[in-house]
Chain A
């Protein structure tokens, strides 16, 4: 990304947060955070509410001052700089459009404060970009949520900031409009080449749009990387559950064989590629994504290098259209989830059918057993789950 936008020099710059901490009284919102966002990146800060992602964003905007640490933008220390002295603009949650100004004046606000000439032409260009050319004379209250969102974006973008901050910008929109705006935002970002930092709790939104995602939880970054990397190779149970769904079963490392780690799970031996093992000894969680798992009638022969767990019973089948979601009960009474594409190649199983689970060893990952298997699982309710379960 850095290279592709190097030509348009002032359009983006490296943003670096070093050991940034923010405390509110005794509550630590952001804890010793290090973050580097490359120029021109679409960067997502993903996490549940209260994880410190918005506080992090506000510190970059200058609306909160870090308790400790420093923030640099393009090599310049901006930690204690006033918000209006930073080449950074924000698209606020619920937009915060000025209700007493019309759309044109809302978009022109930043230019006028900096005494820029040719306000009219620039505002018109920006309104064209967000496809609201004829709305300049209206007031924010007369626009729909989606239109207000685009005005908020135009109002920030017109200033050509080095970094654009987006605080849950699509949170107030309905699902269909949200999907549409995700594509729109991504298009605009590619077009203007400005660094975008997008705060969201919607994992799908983060994965659709961002080049790099930092998953935040309780004030720290759990893992950072591209969407595929985070999804396929989660580093913590939190990431494995918050980003999509995971089956985590308890295992014990037996040893290493070639490039594989061998783990014993309830009498079966499972292989895991070494580069996907976050822990290489003792008790571990062995994980696999539900859509990577295949179901076969009990006793079916499987490929040599497949991982197999036998003796499961189908307990629930839900048909979703493109796929079927199975809940299967393992012999050790843990329930696992399997998503199967409805290719029509085989009749679906029915509740009560005895099945075996198999999947490619390369799709397995191993996590440290010291972590809570349900961290980040928003659907999990400890009171309702059977004892010892680790879906």
Chain B
């Protein structure tokens, strides 16, 4: 085998690996940049390049005026929207999967509509709706929350429905056969088995709500959520602390994924 052939063989063997590495790099470069910028000490407010290394941003994340307030606001809305959408969406999913009623398939289809509607359209028409209802003056926390619950709902329904549809009804029959009444059957068997779907739906809702910009932009009144804060400060130069929040969110998500993986592995053992 000549050296050329060997090289050719080596490239052939590793080309897929190489492509994968390039794609991963493509995906992670922006995240890496967020982490990097969280340690930036910019010379001017409008600087977008890395100037000097500092830990100040991590030690005093709230030193950027108004940022931590906006994060708290986003977290509040995120948790409440997640709770509302998850509860309502789970109920809808159960109704759609477990009950036969007139208009069931139509409802299933309509549930998809908010997901398919462009967010810009949805945001502006929501504003029109709030204004028509005479609420133009009181836009803020509650209007954002209502909007977020509304668009998270479809995602919850779809996610929980998929889990529920894949659930073998024999588990519930077995529970009933083993002296569990309807209530016990639900809490002891149905709910634990559907729970992974509900949890996934909740996480999805939270992430959708936390970083929603478009719909919020139309309906936020004077309330500043984290995405609104970032957008607003972009005009005057984004404070590096924003990258600290970004990195924290990223680490939190990473921890959740690793944690759930560990739980799954322990269960499988």
Q: Given that A96-B168, A142-B268, A159-B179 are contacting pairs, would A83 and B173 also be in contact in the complex, using a CB cutoff of 8 Å? A: yes
Q: Is A292 an interface residue (CB 8 A)?
A: no
Q: Is B7 an interface residue (CB 8 A)?
A: no
* 9 other A-B residue contacts (CB within 8 Å) besides A99-B171, A100-B189: A61-B177, A62-B177, A82-B176, A83-B176, A84-B181, A90-B177, A100-B193, A139-B268, A141-B268
Whether A63 pairs with B193 at a CB distance below 8 angstroms is: no
Q: Is B72 an interface residue (CB 8 A)?
A: no
Q: Mark A83-122, 1 if CB is under 8 A from B, else 0.
A: 1100011101010111110000000011001100000000
Q: Mark A133-152, 1 if CB is under 8 A from B, else 0.
A: 00000010110000000000
Q: Is B180 an interface residue (CB 8 A)?
A: yes
Near A by CB (< 8 A), chain B positions 167-203 give: 168, 170-171, 173-181, 184, 188-189, 192-193
| A-to-B contact residues, CB < 8 Å | 61-63, 82-84, 88-90, 92, 94, 96-100, 109-110, 113-114, 139, 141-142, 155-156, 159
Whether B178 pairs with A109 at a CB distance below 8 angstroms is: yes
B170 and chain A: residue at smallest CB distance: A96
Q: Is B100 an interface residue (CB 8 A)?
A: no
> A155 to B189, alpha carbons, bound, how many Å?
15
Whether A114 pairs with B174 at a CB distance below 8 angstroms is: no
B residues in contact with A62, CB < 8 Å: 176-177
A residues in contact with B184, CB < 8 Å: 113
Report which of A84, A99, A100, A141 forms a contact with B177, defined as CB distance below 8 A: A84
A10 to chain B: closest CB distance in Å? 16
> A159 to B175, alpha carbons, bound, how many Å?
13
B76 to chain A: closest CB distance in Å? 32
B174 and chain A: residue at smallest CB distance: A96
A4 to chain B: closest CB distance in Å? 27
B residues in contact with A142, CB < 8 Å: 268
Q: Given that A84-B180, A110-B178, A114-B179 are contacting pairs, would A92 and B170 also be in contact in the complex, using a CB cutoff of 8 Å? A: yes
> A151 to B174, alpha carbons, bound, how many Å?
13
Whether B189 pairs with A110 at a CB distance below 8 angstroms is: no
User: What's the tally of chain B residues with a CB closer than 8 Å to chain A?
Assistant: 19
Q: Is the interface of B mostly helix, strand, loop or mixed?
A: helix
> A37 to B21, alpha carbons, bound, how many Å?
68
Q: Is B102 an interface residue (CB 8 A)?
A: no
Q: Given that A82-B181, A141-B268, A142-B268 are contacting pairs, would A98 and B171 also be in contact in the complex, using a CB cutoff of 8 Å? A: yes
B38 to chain A: closest CB distance in Å? 40
| B-to-A contact residues, CB < 8 Å | 168, 170-171, 173-181, 184, 188-189, 192-193, 267-268
A108 and chain B: residue at smallest CB distance: B178
Report which of A84, A98, A139, A155 forms a contact with B267, defined as CB distance below 8 A: A139
- Report which residue of B168, B173, B178, B192 has the largest number of chain A beta carbons within 10 angstroms of its beta carbon: B178
Whether B179 pairs with A96 at a CB distance below 8 angstroms is: no
> A159 to B173, alpha carbons, bound, how many Å?
16
- Report which residue of B176, B179, B268 has the largest number of chain A beta carbons within 10 angstroms of its beta carbon: B179
A372 to chain B: closest CB distance in Å? 35
B residues in contact with A100, CB < 8 Å: 189, 192-193
B193 and chain A: residue at smallest CB distance: A100
Q: Write 14 A-B pairs (CB below 8 A) sorted by A numbering.
A: A83-B173, A83-B177, A84-B179, A90-B177, A94-B170, A96-B170, A96-B171, A100-B189, A100-B193, A109-B180, A110-B178, A113-B188, A139-B268, A159-B178
B181 and chain A: residue at smallest CB distance: A84
Whether A109 pairs with B170 at a CB distance below 8 angstroms is: no
B residues in contact with A83, CB < 8 Å: 173, 176-177
Whether A113 pairs with B177 at a CB distance below 8 angstroms is: no
Whether A92 pairs with B192 at a CB distance below 8 angstroms is: no
> A99 to B176, alpha carbons, bound, how many Å?
16
- Report which residue of B176, B192, B193, B268 has the largest number of chain A beta carbons within 10 angstroms of its beta carbon: B176
5 tightest Cβ-Cβ pairs between the two chains A and B: A110-B178, A96-B170, A113-B179, A96-B174, A83-B176
> A83 to B188, alpha carbons, bound, how many Å?
16
- Report which residue of A84, A90, A159 has the largest number of chain B beta carbons within 10 angstroms of its beta carbon: A84
Whether B174 pairs with A90 at a CB distance below 8 angstroms is: yes
B98 to chain A: closest CB distance in Å? 16
Whether A84 pairs with B176 at a CB distance below 8 angstroms is: yes
> A82 to B268, alpha carbons, bound, how many Å?
35
- Report which residue of A62, A98, A141, A156 has the largest number of chain B beta carbons within 10 angstroms of its beta carbon: A98
> A109 to B189, alpha carbons, bound, how many Å?
10
> A262 to B150, alpha carbons, bound, how many Å?
84
B192 and chain A: residue at smallest CB distance: A100
Whether A89 pairs with B178 at a CB distance below 8 angstroms is: yes
> A239 to B189, alpha carbons, bound, how many Å?
42
A100 and chain B: residue at smallest CB distance: B192
> A82 to B267, alpha carbons, bound, how many Å?
33
Whether A63 pairs with B168 at a CB distance below 8 angstroms is: no
> A110 to B181, alpha carbons, bound, how many Å?
11
A residues in contact with B176, CB < 8 Å: 62-63, 82-84
